[in-house]
């Protein structure tokens, strides 16, 4: 990974120094090795803080909504999953494609530090990955973990490829894999109504309305969010009723349905580890069944199944009965 | 400060019999914001309206609520009254305490309580009403008629005679429709083609009528007065401007295995053909499924023999875009398929035929030259049995629930004509009822029975089966109370009719209402039978409901009158209850335009002040109020709620819900 | 110093719960948060930090402060305040307890927030010392001793026992209620753990954060609230 990081910093510095771009959007080193955060770099000196490591899970595309409005071009590093939300935002006219220089950067999956810590590993100093082995250097010694067990949930079933790029930094090819991203959804579908309700009731009861999921979601980029707008009738700062805590997530899932690219950020940022991505994946599974396979963000233009009518669309009765054909 | 006036109507005893209207008015006086409440026997009357106008002036009312019948009845009346008293007509709300209350409940206490809730709800809404101004839109003085049967032809002729341009779009290669396939027409026994073809020729020759045959409507955008229609002109593989209709190509064409649609498949026709002798336009068309040249590249005989070089195998579908002020739908009907009626043996026996097939057999231009010969062995049938209501009046789900209207008369016609031409042929008719309500219709049927000796048997047929080459028709004779079996040579099924299936697509394109039987819905069954609820769209012929030729022609002329009434105007008043985006909240994401059925939404770049002297340019939606029909699809699609509906804002609707729940 | 075997902690919870409401770190749906104890719930004292702090006990995200009823043009206000039932808040970390002290300085000072006061006075706080601080812990630099928390009762947990030390009147009253479940002793084990913990804290990355960048105003507030200096 260090070799990729070197290339990333090298290219960023070159682009900024030459004046081809006015700023670079990437990740900057945090207090530890496992907490890089998204950042805007405006000088070559600042780029000394640019990192690209096993913990750069954050999706940078949403920041471009505001940043691409500024003078000059903006360079951004996009992992495969990030390129879909990038495309979707272009399709919705939120990002001006011409103002962005997109660098497709390689990704072999990102790690979840919570999962590493849950294995009893603490005082982490450095992390190195070789094939399927994750070597964690701590103050108490080195631990070796199995990569599939400590990946970010969104990376476990990822088969995404870069959909957009002005250039690429890919030094290692990701091996092909056969994974079913709807496996967990199918498990929920197989439950009885009561079991499923009990599952979600329990999960959603943890919600503290921090709004991190909404804030990080690229599809949730309304100039004025309904949950912040008293006139909408559904604005609230806290879940003062069970109904409220359940409906917030369901309403949000409906609002992004058909536009959600399955980037998985919502679940990654949730402090209570609520598996929100399962709600969105259920929608995607249904949309695929009713209207044909559709991946939001694959194209930067074209029809979206939920806002275009075609003869032969599923009839309401069939859709409500949940029999996606 | 709101000053709301509430007026509760007795509607004679329609409301007052089940709702204590006095109590409602008294109770509602205490509602916050209400400064005046009254009740009166007939609010829509001159006196009732005076009461409203006076109250508005005397009490300085800012908005009014009328608790009365459905807004569909008198909303316009009360809006006008308010306007005359100096109030903006959109500060008026109607609480429907008749259709939604007094007419559907019995207990007076409950009904009164509900009426109070309904009026409270309307008050909650009117408190959030804002004054609205109606706009204007221009009218394109040209009409589109979809369908070139007798309904379309009549409507087109009437509109053209009034001086307006009309286009007829017909999906078949010739106009004429079903009437061209008929032999004689009841009750006069006129030859169908003889009375139809002169009208067809009139259409062709009329300077104001343009016939687009072998064409289909592909896309419709716009609204009343300004429809933008894309029409697909299908490839005939024959140049319409060159073909003289000489028919040499038909003679020489070696591919003669195509089923002749005009003769209901009873005989064949060549791949290149003119559908029938009096076709308009009298131009050949190639069936690409049958043509050897189009399928394999070999042949090309017709092109060799064509004297004017009209054949063009490279021809492609083309598109034309035209603007219209009004659209008439006259798409007609077809007999239903008999898949669910195996008991009649239609699929297994060539001599079990439908009435339309019989029309072709009896027609002089038909497959047997007008001689009645049965399809299996070309022998003359000696015993013919007619079975009525095949697939009509059917509550089992196999057929249609409605009565197809024309079959009693045409079967009487068939029976009479056969008995007249072949007096030695026995004719039996199994019927449930005989429906002959039109002018001279009952006399017509009685002639069949009394003068021509047609044997009418009241009872249904259980099955038709083949026994030693004879068709056994087994049915009931309810009057004599016995089961009977009639050995027949020919069995004719009076099949139900249904609207042409392609009308579903047309209805979607026009956003016109369609019912579960695929008939287009009229705006009001009694008072507006030729208008669709969609403004600018009119309905003529069987596409609106089963009917015979006299009714079809009447309806077509009625349509034409409505169309002329529209096209004669230069400007139309537009409804101000249209969508409006809040530019401060709009993302410019483009979802609303995707769902707008009328193409009313476009996007512009607008400058916004950010504070601190900064500005930014943002893409926002903008609605053309003349095009928007206020359907609200965009308001639901908008993720941030920036798009709202004037007169029916989200806040207003929620305030109504809250008023109801507050009980 | 009192001690009770870890296996018997459930009895302790049941005893407290019989007399008052008991709120402690409970594992639900994979995450540990403060919640009301009930028989069968999975208590997790080993987890270093709950996802949310125990602040909710005194300072809920939302609460009904009053109700009012409208009838036509009349409004009636209904007082729905209720006395908070006696509560025990168990398992509060030293840093979280410090935060409660800071809240006290704001909400118990004039004008007193009576809703907060009501809940605060009804609650007995049992703190739990940390044995395995994490790299992101910053207690030392704010003068918090992770090994010797304040609180009505301070507790320590090791592999065998929970150790219990009442510090205030409230703490003594609670101890009286559950005394028979405990045995005397444990000073040595507690001392040993404290030494170990303090040693780890010294080596934490944030043990020596540079606070000189704080503005003079912020520095004063920090001194007064966190360090308790006048």
For position A89, what pLDDT does the model report? 96
Check CB contact under 8 Å for A224 and B505: no
Asked if B178 and B323 sit in the same domain, the reply is yes
Considering only alpha carbons, which residue of chain C is nearest residue A114? Answer: C31
Q: Do B641 and A69 touch (CB under 8 A)?
A: no
Q: Are B45 and B88 part of one and the same domain?
A: yes
Whether residue C223 is predicted with pLDDT greater than 80 in this model: the reply is: no
Structural domain harbouring A78: 2-112+155-169
Joined tokens for residue B329: 């739908």
pLDDT at A182 (0 to 100): 95
pLDDT at B598 over 90: no
What's the gap in Å between the CA of B94 and the closest CA on chain C?
22
For the segment B310-328, the average pLDDT, to the nearest whole number, is 96
Closest chain B C-alpha to A299 CA, distance in angstroms? 15
**A159 and A128 within one domain:** no
The answer to whether position A36 is within a domain reads: yes
Q: Which residue of B has its CA nearest to C69?
A: B662
Task: Write the pLDDT tens digit of every residue in B44-100.
Answer: 999 999 999 999 999 999 999 999 999 988 999 999 999 999 999 999 999 999 999
Task: Name the residue with tokens 């004039």.
Answer: C110
DSSP conformation letters of B66-98: EEES-HHHHHHHHHHHHHHTTS-GGGEEEEE-I
**pLDDT given for residue C71 in this prediction:** 80
Q: Which range is least confidently modeled, B78-82, B504-508, C225-229?
A: C225-229
Task: Please determine, for residue A297, whether its predicted confidence score (pLDDT) is greater than 60.
Answer: yes
Name the minimum distance, in Å, from the CA of A199 to any CA of chain C: 9
Q: Show the CA angle centred on residue A263, arms to residues A260 and A264, nearest 5°.
A: 105
Q: DSSP string spanning B24-64? A: HHHHHTTSTTEEEEEEES-TTSHHHHHHHHHHHHHHT-SEE
Q: What is the pLDDT of residue A309?
A: 85
Distance between A202 CA and the closest CA of chain C, angstroms: 6
- Helix (H) or strand (E) holding B443, with range, is helix B441-446
Classify residue B663: in a domain, yes or no.
Answer: no
Mean pLDDT of A59-67: 96
Do A131 and A220 belong together in one domain? no
Percent of chain B with pLDDT over 90: 90
- Of A164, A49, A114, nearest to A268 (Cα)? A114
Q: For residue C150, give every residue at least 6 positions away whose Cβ sits within 8 Å of its Cβ, in sequence order, or none.
A: C94, C97, C98, C101, C127, C167
| pLDDT tens track for C177-198 | 999 999 999 999 999 999 999 9
ipTM of this complex: 0.87
Tokens for B271? Answer: 């791949």
B596 within a domain of the structure (yes/no): yes
- Give the number of domains in chain B: 5
Look up the CATH number of the domain holding residue B362. 3.50.50.60
Q: pLDDT grade, residue C224 (50/70/90)?
A: confident
Q: Residue B627 pLDDT more than 90?
A: no
A177 lies in a domain? no
* Same-domain check for residues A245 and A97: no
Alpha helices in chain A (DSSP H): 2-18, 64-67, 80-91, 113-118, 147-150, 153-156, 183-190, 193-204, 212-216, 242-256, 265-269, 277-291, 316-320
CA B302, CA B292: separation in Å to the nearest integer?
Answer: 11
Residue A325 lies in a domain: no
In order of A73, A78, B348, B525, B594, the CA distances from A96 in angstroms are 10, 16, 67, 53, 20
Chain C nearest-CA residue for A122: C134
- Domain of residue C195 covers 2-225
Model confidence at A325: pLDDT above 50 = no
pLDDT digits (tens, 9 = 90+) for B426-476: 999 999 999 999 999 999 999 999 999 999 999 999 999 999 989 999 999
**Residues B598, B563 share a domain:** no
Tell me the average pLDDT across B115-130: 96
Give residue-wise pLDDT tens across range A72-110: 999 999 999 999 999 999 999 999 999 999 999 999 999
pLDDT of residue B128: 95
Domain count, chain C: 1
Q: Is residue B660 domain-resident? A: no
Residue C160 falls within a domain, yes or no?
Answer: yes
Say yes or no for a CB contact (<8 Å) between A93 and B586: no
- Residue A163 shares a structural domain with residue A276: no
Q: Is residue B398 domain-resident?
A: yes
Question: Which secondary structure element, helix H or strand E, spans residue B205, and what is its range?
Answer: helix B192-205
Residue B12 belongs to domain with CATH number:
3.40.50
Q: Is residue B653 part of a domain?
A: no
Domain shared by A203 and A297, yes or no: yes
**Binary contact (A311, B595; C-beta < 8 A):** no
What was the pLDDT predicted at A322? 58
On whether residue A272 sits in a domain, the answer given is yes
| Closest-CA residue to B167 (of B139, B187, B196, B144) | B144
Establish if C70 belongs to a structural domain.
yes
Rounded CA-CA distance A158/A175 in Å is 12
Pair (B296, B400) in one structural domain? no
Q: Does residue A210 belong to any structural domain of this protein?
A: yes
Residue of chain A nearest B637, judged by CA positions: A307
Tell me the three-class secondary structure of A157-209, residue by residue: CCCCCCCCCCEEECCCCCCCCCCCCCHHHHHHHHCCHHHHHHHHHHHHCCCCC
Q: Which of residues 115-174 of C touch A (CB under 8 A)?
A: 132, 134-136
Interface of B with A (CB under 8 A): 505, 508, 584-591, 594-595, 603, 616, 618-619, 637, 639-642, 650-651, 654
Per-residue confidence (pLDDT) for residue A319, from 0 to 100 = 78
A16 and A60 in a single domain? The answer is yes
- Chains with ≥3 CB–CB distances under 8 Å to B: A, C
The predicted structure's pLDDT at residue C81: 86
Mean pLDDT for B563-591 is: 94
Q: Is the pLDDT of residue A279 over 60?
A: yes
Domain tally, chain A: 3
Q: Do residues A160 and A209 share a domain?
A: no
* Chain B residues with CB-CB distance to A91 below 8 A: 590
User: Residue B494: in which H helix or E strand, if any?
Assistant: strand B490-495
Same-domain pairing of A33 and A102: yes
C11 domain residue, yes or no: yes
Question: Is residue C230 one of the residues assigned to a domain?
Answer: no
pLDDT at C226 (0 to 100):
67
Domain shared by A160 and A68, yes or no: yes
What is the spatial distance between Cα A52 and Cα A1, in angstroms, rounded to a whole number?
8
Residues B353, B493 within the same domain: yes
Question: Do both A314 and A193 map to the same domain?
Answer: yes
The reply to whether B522 falls in a domain is: yes
Q: Are residues A33 and A159 located together in one domain of the fold?
A: yes
Residues B13-41, mean pLDDT to the nearest whole number? 93
Range with the poorest average pLDDT among A109-113, B325-329, C41-45, C58-62: C58-62
Chain C: give the shortest CA distance to residue B35, in Å: 13
Q: What is the mean pLDDT of residues B401-411?
A: 96
Q: What is the pLDDT averaged over residues B316-344?
A: 96
Q: Across the interface, do A32 and C30 touch by the CB < 8 Å criterion? A: no
How many B-C residue pairs are in contact by the CB < 8 A criterion? 5
Residue owning tokens 């999706």: A59
Q: Which of B4, B29, B30 to mutate to test the interface with C (most CBs of C within 10 A)?
A: B30
Within this chain, do residues B487 and B508 fall inside the same structural domain, yes or no? no
Flag whether pLDDT at A321 surpasses 80. Answer: no
Instruction: Residue B615: count other Cβ atoms within 10 Å of its Cβ.
Output: 10
Q: Are residues A164 and A21 in the same domain?
A: yes
CATH number of the domain that residue B587 is part of: 3.30.70.3270
Please give the residue range of the domain that contains residue B514. 142-234+317-332+500-567
Residues shown for chain B: 663
């Amino acid at each position: 990974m260090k070799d990729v990081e070197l290339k990333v910093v090298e290219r960023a510095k070159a682009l900024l120094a030459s004046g081809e771009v006015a700023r670079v959007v990437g990740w900057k080193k945090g207090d530890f090795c496992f907490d890089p955060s998204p950042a805007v770099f405006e000088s070559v000196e600042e780029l000394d803080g640019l990192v690209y490591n096993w913990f750069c899970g954050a999706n940078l595309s949403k920041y471009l909504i505001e940043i691409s409005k500024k003078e000059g071009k903006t360079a951004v590093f996009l992992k495969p999953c990030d390129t879909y939300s990038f495309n979707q935002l272009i399709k919705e006219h939120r990002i001006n494609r011409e103002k962005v220089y997109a660098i497709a950067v390689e990704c072999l999956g990102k790690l979840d530090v919570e999962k590493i810590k849950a294995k009893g590993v603490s005082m982490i100093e450095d992390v190195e990955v070789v094939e399927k082995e994750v070597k964690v250097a701590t103050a108490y010694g080195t631990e070796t973990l199995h990569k599939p067990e400590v990946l970010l949930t969104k990376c476990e079933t990822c088969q995404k490829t870069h959909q957009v790029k002005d250039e690429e930094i890919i030094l290692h090819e990701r091996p092909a894999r056969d994974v079913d991203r709807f496996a967990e959804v199918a498990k929920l579908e197989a439950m009885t109504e009561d079991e499923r309700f009990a599952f979600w009731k329990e999960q959603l009861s943890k919600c503290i309305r921090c709004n991190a999921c909404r804030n990080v979601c690229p599809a949730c980029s309304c100039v004025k969010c309904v949950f912040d707008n008293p006139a909408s009738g559904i604005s609230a700062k806290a879940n003062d009723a069970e109904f409220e805590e359940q409906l917030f997530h369901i309403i949000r899932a409906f609002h992004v349905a058909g536009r959600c690219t399955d980037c998985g950020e919502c679940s990654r940022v949730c402090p209570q580890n609520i598996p929100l991505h399962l709600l969105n994946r259920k929608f995607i599974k249904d949309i695929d069944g009713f209207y044909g396979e559709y991946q939001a963000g694959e194209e930067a233009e074209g029809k979206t199944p939920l806002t275009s009518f075609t003869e032969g669309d599923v009839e309401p009765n069939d859709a409500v009965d949940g029999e996606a054909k | 400060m709101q000053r709301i006036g509430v007026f509760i109507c007795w509607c004679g005893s329609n409301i007052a019999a089940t709702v204590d209207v006095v109590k409602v008015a008294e109770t509602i006086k205490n509602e916050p914001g209400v400064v005046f409440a009254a009740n009166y026997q007939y609010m829509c009357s001159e006196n009732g309206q005076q009461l409203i106008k006076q109250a508005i002036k005397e009490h300085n009312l800012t908005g009014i609520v009328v608790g009365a019948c459905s807004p569909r009845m008198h909303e316009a009346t009360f809006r006008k009254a308010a306007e005359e008293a100096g109030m903006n007509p959109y500060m008026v709300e109607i609480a429907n305490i008749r259709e939604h209350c007094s007419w559907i409940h019995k207990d007076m206490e409950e009904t009164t309580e509900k009426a109070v809730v309904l009026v409270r709800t309307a008050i909650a809404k009117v408190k959030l009403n804002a004054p609205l101004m109606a706009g204007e839109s221009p009218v394109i003085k040209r009409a589109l008629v979809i369908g070139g049967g007798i309904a379309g032809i009549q409507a087109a002729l009437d509109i053209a005679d009034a001086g307006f341009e009309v286009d007829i779009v017909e999906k078949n290669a010739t106009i004429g429709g079903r009437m061209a396939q008929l032999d004689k027409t009841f009750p006069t026994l006129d030859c169908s083609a003889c009375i139809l073809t002169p009208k067809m020729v009139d259409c062709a020759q009329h300077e104001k009528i343009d016939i687009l045959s072998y064409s289909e409507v592909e896309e419709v955008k716009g609204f009343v007065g300004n429809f933008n229609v894309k029409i697909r002109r299908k490839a005939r593989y024959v140049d319409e401007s060159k073909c003289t209709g000489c028919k040499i190509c038909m003679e020489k064409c070696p591919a003669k295995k195509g089923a002749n649609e005009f003769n209901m498949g009873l005989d064949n026709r060549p791949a290149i053909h003119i559908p029938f002798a009096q076709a308009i336009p009298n131009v050949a068309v190639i069936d690409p499924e049958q043509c050897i040249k189009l399928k394999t590249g070999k042949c090309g005989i017709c092109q060799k023999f064509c004297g004017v070089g009209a054949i063009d195998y490279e021809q492609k579908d083309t598109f034309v875009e035209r603007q219209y002020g009004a659209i008439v739908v006259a798409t007609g009907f077809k007999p239903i398929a008999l898949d669910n009626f195996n008991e009649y043996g239609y699929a297994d026996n060539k001599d079990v035929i439908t009435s339309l097939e019989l029309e072709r057999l009896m027609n002089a231009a038909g497959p047997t030259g007008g001689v009645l010969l049965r399809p299996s062995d070309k022998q003359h049938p000696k015993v013919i049995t007619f079975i009525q209501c095949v697939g009509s009046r059917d509550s089992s789900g196999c057929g249609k629930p409605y009565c197809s209207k024309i079959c009693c008369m045409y079967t009487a016609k068939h029976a009479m004509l056969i008995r007249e031409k072949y007096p030695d042929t026995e004719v039996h008719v199994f019927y449930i009822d005989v429906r002959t309500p039109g002018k001279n219709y009952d006399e017509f049927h009685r002639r069949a029975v009394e003068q021509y000796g047609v044997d009418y048997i009241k009872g249904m047929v259980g099955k038709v089966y083949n026994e030693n080459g004879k068709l056994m028709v087994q049915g009931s004779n309810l009057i004599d109370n016995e089961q009977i079996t009639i050995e027949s040579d020919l069995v004719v099924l009076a099949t139900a009719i249904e609207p042409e299936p392609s009308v579903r697509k047309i209805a979607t394109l026009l956003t016109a209402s369609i019912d579960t039987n695929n008939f287009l819905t009229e705006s009001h069954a009694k008072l507006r039978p030729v208008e669709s609820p969609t403004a600018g769209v009119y309905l003529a012929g069987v596409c609106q409901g089963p009917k015979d030729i006299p009714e079809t022609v009447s309806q077509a002329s009625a349509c034409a009158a409505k169309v002329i009434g529209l096209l004669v105007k230069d400007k139309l008043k537009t409804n101000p209850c249209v969508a409006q985006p809040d530019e401060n909240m709009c993302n410019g994401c483009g979802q609303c335009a995707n769902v707008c059925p009328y193409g009313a939404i476009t996007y512009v770049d607008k400058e916004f002040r950010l504070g601190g002297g900064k500005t930014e340019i943002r893409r926002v939606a903008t609605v053309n109020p003349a095009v928007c029909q206020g359907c609200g699809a965009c308001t639901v699609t908008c993720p941030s709620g920036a798009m709202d509906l004037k007169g029916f804002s989200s806040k207003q609707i929620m305030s109504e819900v809250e008023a109801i729940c507050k009980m | 110093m009192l001690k009770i075997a870890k296996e018997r902690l459930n009895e302790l919870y049941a005893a407290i719960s019989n007399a008052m409401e008991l709120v402690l770190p409970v594992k639900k749906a994979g995450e540990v948060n403060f919640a009301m104890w009930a028989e069968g719930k999975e208590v997790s004292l080993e987890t270093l930090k709950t996802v949310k702090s125990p602040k909710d006990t005194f300072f809920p995200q939302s609460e009904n402060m009053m109700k009012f009823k409208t009838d036509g043009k009349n409004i009636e206000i209904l007082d729905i305040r209720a006395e908070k039932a006696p509560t025990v808040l168990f398992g509060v970390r030293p840093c979280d307890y410090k935060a409660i002290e800071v809240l006290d300085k704001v909400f118990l000072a004039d004008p007193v927030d009576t809703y907060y006061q009501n809940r605060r006075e009804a609650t007995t706080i049992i703190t739990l010392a940390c044995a395995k601080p994490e790299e992101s812990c910053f207690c030392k630099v704010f003068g918090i001793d992770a090994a010797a928390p304040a609180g009505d009762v301070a507790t320590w947990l090791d592999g065998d026992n929970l150790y219990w030390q009442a510090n205030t009147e409230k703490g003594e009253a609670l101890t009286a209620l559950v005394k028979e479940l405990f045995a005397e002793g444990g000073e040595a084990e507690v001392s040993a753990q404290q030494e170990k913990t303090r040693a780890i804290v010294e080596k934490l990355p944030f043990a020596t954060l540079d606070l000189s960048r704080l503005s003079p105003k912020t520095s004063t507030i920090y001194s007064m609230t966190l360090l308790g200096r006048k």
